[in-house]
């Protein structure tokens, strides 16, 4: 409609210009034509920028649920999200907040593993939040529709902003998060959507832990998957907030160093820290280990009993 109006306006001005003989009228009508052209260019630019994102419809947990994911932009959820969901205690119940939820894979996997759990998916990017909401319309996800809600909100938002969005203090029983790994010292990807997912903001990971502690009830569980090299940051940010930390190294293969860790903790706990035996994802031939296969099919939880 706006484009048609611009074309009609432009045609009208040209007619007025042809009929005009006065120089002042000529200048005025010429100016109006230029303004109409500018409006046309703005509307064309806007139309291009709102081209729908290309997506794929992907199945998880052996087809138990489906999620729309970007096919060419941003990042795609996979093993890390499923491992994170499996880090929650077996038969978890109450409210789960998935901080920085993206398209929602980790949160939906947690719901699939724990039938008494409800989900608040917290995501600041409007495109990712939209995909998460669209995924909930799939018939394969109907069993989760009454147990989940997507909240468009920056994880690092203030308490007032969180409350306004519907994320109250001391309101959730569990938190999972897979924060950005990279800092400003590292080069950001050219894709803005991917850069947003990879690059940690100014507040650093401490802002994520601050929000997790603020919204969680005492005795609640937090689980985070992160780079092994950043373990010190996780421990520092947990001080005074979460205790009873359990650290599980994630090995791609048994003979390789762990590049990922999962850390699980309890709000306001004073229990000592423990390092759990590592979890191995692949066999030497590249296939999934028996335990990893069970995790990725939604048949098991990670074992933190040691």
Banded model confidence at residue 204, pLDDT cuts 50, 70, 90: confident
Banded model confidence at residue 35, pLDDT cuts 50, 70, 90: very low
pLDDT at 33 over 70: no
Q: What pLDDT is attached to residue 282? A: 98
Which tops the pLDDT comparison, 49 or 261? 261
- With b for 16 or more beta-carbon neighbours within 10 A and e for fewer, the 142-163 pattern comes to eebeebbbbbbbbbbbeeeebe
- For the residues of the chain, what is the DSSP string, one character each? -HHHHHHHHHHHHHHHHHH--SHHHHHHHHHHHHHHHHHHHHHHHHHHHTPPPPEEEEEETTTTEEEEEESSSS----HHHHHHHHTSPTT-EEEEEEET-TTSHHHHHHHHH-TEEEEEEEE--HHHHHHHHHHTTSGGGGGGGGGEEEEE--TT--HHHHHHHT--TT-EEEEEE----B-TTSPPPSSHHHHHHHB--TTHHHHHHHHHHHHEEEEEEEEEEEEGGGHHHHHHHHTTTEEEEEEEEEESSTTS--SEEEEEEEET--PPPEEPPPEE-B-TTSSBPHHHHHHHTTS-------
Tell me what the mean pLDDT of segment 67-92 comes to. Answer: 90
pLDDT at 12 over 50: no
Q: Which residues, at least 6 apart from 47, have a Cβ–Cβ distance to it below 8 Å?
A: 3
pLDDT at 50 over 70: no
Q: How far apart are the first and last CA of the chain?
A: 64
pLDDT at 174 over 50: yes
Tell me what the mean pLDDT of segment 64-86 comes to. Answer: 90
**pTM metric for this prediction:** 0.79
Which tops the pLDDT comparison, 11 or 284? 284
Choice among 18-27, 34-43, 82-91, 116-125 with the minimum mean pLDDT: 34-43
Instruction: Return the percentage of the chain with pLDDT > 70, whole number.
Output: 75
Choice among 8-22, 134-148, 239-253, 269-283 with the minimum mean pLDDT: 8-22
The overall average pLDDT reported for the chain is 85
Q: What pLDDT is attached to residue 189? A: 56
- In CATH, the architecture of 55-296 is 3-Layer(aba) Sandwich (3.40)
**Residues 88 and 221 sit within 8 Å (Cβ to Cβ):** yes
Q: Residue 246's beta-bridge partner residues?
A: 264, 274
Which tops the pLDDT comparison, 8 or 282? 282
Q: Are strands 242-251 and 148-152 parallel, antiparallel or unpaired?
A: unpaired
Banded model confidence at residue 181, pLDDT cuts 50, 70, 90: confident
pLDDT at 270 over 80: yes
Q: Which residues, at least 6 apart from 219, have a Cβ–Cβ distance to it below 8 Å?
A: 266, 267, 268, 269
Residue labelled with tokens 């994170």:
84
pLDDT in tens, 228-257: 999 999 999 999 999 999 999 999 999 999
pLDDT at 88 over 80: yes
Domain range summary for the chain, segments of one domain joined by +: 2-49, 55-296
Q: What pLDDT is attached to residue 77? A: 81
Q: What pLDDT is attached to residue 36? A: 46
Instruction: Return the percentage of the chain with pLDDT > 90, whole number.
Output: 71
Which tops the pLDDT comparison, 253 or 75? 253
Distances in whole angstroms, Cα of residue 158 to Cα of each of 163, 168, 207: 9, 11, 10
């Amino acid at each position: 409609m706006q484009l048609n109006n611009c074309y009609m306006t432009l045609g009208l001005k040209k007619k007025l210009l042809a009929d005009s003989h006065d120089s002042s009228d000529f200048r005025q009508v010429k100016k109006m034509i230029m303004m109409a052209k500018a409006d046309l260019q703005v509307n064309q630019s806007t139309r291009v920028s709102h081209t729908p994102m290309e997506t794929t419809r992907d199945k998880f947990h052996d087809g138990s649920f489906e999620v729309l994911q970007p096919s060419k932009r941003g990042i795609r959820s996979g093993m890390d999200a499923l491992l994170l969901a499996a880090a929650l205690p077996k038969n978890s119940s109450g409210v789960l907040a998935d901080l920085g939820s993206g398209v929602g894979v980790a949160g939906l996997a947690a719901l699939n593993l724990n039938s008494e759990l409800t989900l608040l998916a917290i995501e600041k990017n409007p495109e990712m939040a939209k995909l998460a909401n669209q995924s909930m319309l799939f018939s394969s996800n109907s069993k989760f529709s009454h147990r989940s809600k997507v909240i468009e909100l920056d994880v690092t938002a203030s308490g007032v902003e969180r409350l306004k969005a519907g994320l109250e203090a001391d309101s959730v029983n569990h938190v999972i998060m897979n924060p950005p790994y990279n800092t400003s010292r590292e080069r950001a990807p050219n894709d803005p959507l991917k850069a947003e997912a990879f690059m940690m903001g100014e507040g650093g990971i401490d802002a994520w832990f601050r929000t997790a502690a603020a919204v969680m009830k005492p005795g609640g569980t937090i689980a985070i998957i992160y780079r092994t090299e950043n373990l010190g940051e996780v421990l520092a940010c947990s001080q005074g907030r979460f205790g009873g930390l359990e650290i599980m190294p994630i090995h791609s293969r048994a003979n390789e160093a762990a590049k990922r860790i999962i850390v699980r903790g309890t709000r306001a706990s004073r229990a000592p820290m423990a390092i759990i035996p590592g979890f191995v994802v692949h066999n030497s031939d590249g296939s999934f280990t028996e335990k990893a296969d069970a995790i990725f099919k939604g048949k098991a939880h990670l074992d933190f009993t040691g």
